[in-house]
Amino acid sequence: MSSTATTTRKQTVIGDPVSNDPEVSQALLEEIFQDIQADLRYDHELNGCLNCGICTATCPAAHYYDFSPREIVQLLWTENLEGIYDAMQEKIWACAQCYTCAARCPFGNSPGGLVMLMREVSIKHGMQSAKNVLRPFSRVMLKLISTGNQLSPDMINPDHFADWGPNISKVEAPLKLLRKAIPMPTLNTTETAWETNLKTSVELYTIWEETGVLDQLETIDENLFDVILDIMDEKREDWEDWQDEQDD
């Protein structure tokens, strides 16, 4: 079913009728879809689709945005390359990644998981939608990539999140208590959570490099990539100096 859908849709280029965006070639559409399909998780997340709409009925994002997990799954299942590309320009970023859809789908699909794959491919291709969505998170990404974490319970207070408004005070105490129930005391405060030792930092940077995370970052935010490279160089030098001192 899925292979015939592609071959019957002959179109060399597509154009967006409501914007001045450049046309997208059929070759690029196919490359993007192949990148999504090539992920090992794809066959696990997509098993077929009854078009029943249960996923959309239970999806919180569908209640507030022009977004439907059923539509995303149908686009992929029918290999609607133009529709997939269009959805990657905006709709896929509405998903909250709560995975209610995956728990409810009678076919065992994970629309949220498929959205995640599409997001990763949009980053790989440096799509403007990915740049726009991720730009406000530069500060978070800097902390996350340089220390391995960025949020600790002592940050959940009005000083750190003034823009959350007065309701922030209502969640402060419960979160602290809940976090204390987790046996990771070093993650309880920014003071300890952000103090990553040199060896761990250097190992973390190797992981970011080997898994392609840094390449992805360079594609979507070159300035942040440069800042993080400087931090990595500095920490690696510190680590080498420390090792030299031990040898002396």
Residues that bind ligand SF4 (CB under 6 A): 49-55, 59-61, 69-70, 73, 95-101, 105-107, 109, 111-112, 115
* Residue facing ligand SF4 at closest CB distance: 112
Closer Cβ to ligand SF4, 54 or 142, answer by number: 54
Closer Cβ to ligand SF4, 60 or 158, answer by number: 60
**Least distance CB 57 / ligand SF4 (angstroms):** 8
**Least distance CB 69 / ligand SF4 (angstroms):** 4
**Least distance CB 37 / ligand SF4 (angstroms):** 17
CA dihedral 95, 62, 105, 114 (to 10 degrees): -30
Closer Cβ to ligand SF4, 134 or 145, answer by number: 134
Closer Cβ to ligand SF4, 69 or 153, answer by number: 69
Closer Cβ to ligand SF4, 84 or 105, answer by number: 105
The strand ranges marked E within the chain are: 13-14, 24-25
The DSSP output letter for 141 is H
Pull the structure tokens for residue 237: 């030098």
Closer Cβ to ligand SF4, 109 or 190, answer by number: 109
| Contact of 231 with 146, CB cutoff 8 Å | yes
**Least distance CB 42 / ligand SF4 (angstroms):** 14
**Least distance CB 200 / ligand SF4 (angstroms):** 31
**Least distance CB 216 / ligand SF4 (angstroms):** 21
| Long-range Cβ contacts of 241-246 (<8 Å, 24+ apart) | 242/198
Within 8 A by CB and 6+ apart from 37, the residues are none
| Contact of 81 with 33, CB cutoff 8 Å | yes
DSSP string spanning 111-168? HHHHHHHHHHHHHHTT-HHHHHHHGGGHHHHHHHHHHS----GGG-STTTTGGG-TTH
